[in-house]
Amino acid sequence: MTLQFSKYEGTGNDFIMIDDRKLQFPVSEDLISKLCDRHFGIGADGVLLVQHSEGYDFGMNYFNSDGSPATFCGNGGRCITAFAHQKGIIGSTCRFMAADGIHHAQISENNGSVMIVELELQDPVIYSMDKNSYYLNTGTYHVVKFVDNPDDIEIIETGREIRYDARYETHGTNVNFAKLLKKELYVRTYEKGVEDETLSCGTGVTASAIAASLKYGGDSFYVNTAGGRLFVSFKRMGDTIKNVKLTGPAKLVFEGTIEI
């Protein structure tokens, strides 16, 4: 079988995009992990399927690079919006269904291969918070830890230790190390399913911005990652956060075919 795909990246978080509205893609953990392999496959942090979803512009089905199904991905949500526009499925706005519920997105700029996409996320669930550590869900589970310098953290070792902590063993958690400097955040993320540091994590950036608001105040943040800069905004009423939006670039890297 010849598979047509597009490769997209959102601030360094990269995805294999597949138009699966006819439900012909043979989903399996083995196949997805092979496609995401950076030596013997296409190479990506995950696979995103555009599928039919009754009453919506499309459905988003996301898999981690190890082949495991995932809940939601913020950078992936922006990239799949750009991909759906490229394929003529949507115009500049869309309403799509993902594993965690309904999302709206809008393309505010289109420069050909690069689009700026504003994505609405679900209202977060905040499970616990203390002075420097926050545990919440912004579409998937995240721990946010504020540290003096994220670059001093042995992120694989420390991130993996927290990710597999018994407190989170039911579903695991992503781990973000953050610092607020001059009203902008700097974040590094250890991502479950990838089991490594990713250059950027949209839901992690969002979780870090919400945690920063709970710790320092504010309702919008620019967030710098190794892969680029994103913008997070929301409305806050006490410890209740609503109308969360993640804005940033989604770039078409290349298109191709591969035999599977």
CA-to-CA distance for 55 and 110, rounded, in angstroms? 26
Catalytic positions, written as ranges = 73, 201
CA dist list (Å): 210 to 20, 27, 33, 205, 258:
34, 34, 32, 9, 40
Residue with tokens 């953990």: 29
CA dist., res. 256 & res. 180, Å (int): 40
Q: What are the φ/ψ torsions at residue 30 (nearest 5 degrees)?
A: -65, -45
Do residues 224 and 249 make contact, with C-beta atoms less than 8 angstroms apart? no
For every residue of 180-244, DSSP letters joined together read EETTEEEEEEEETTTTEEES--HHHHHHHHHHHHHHH--SEEEEEETTEEEEEEEEEETTEEEEE
Report the run of H or E that residue 97 belongs to, with start and end.
strand 93-98
Distance CA 199, CA 98 (A): 23
